[in-house]
Structure 1
Amino acid sequence: MRFCPKCGSVMIPDRKRGVLVCRRCGYEEPIDPEKAEAYKVKKTVEHKPDEGVIVVEEDVRTLPIAKVKCPKCGNEEAYWWELQTRAGDEPSTIFYKCTKCGHTWRSYE
Structure 2
Amino acid sequence: MLLFCPTCGNLLTVEEGNQCYRFACPTCPYVHNITRKISSKQFPKLKAVDDVLGGAAAWENVDSTEEKCPKCEHNRAYFMQIQTRSADEPMTIFYKCCNPQCGHQWRE
Alignment TM class, shorter chain as reference: 0.3 to 0.5
The structure with the largest alpha-carbon Rg is: 2
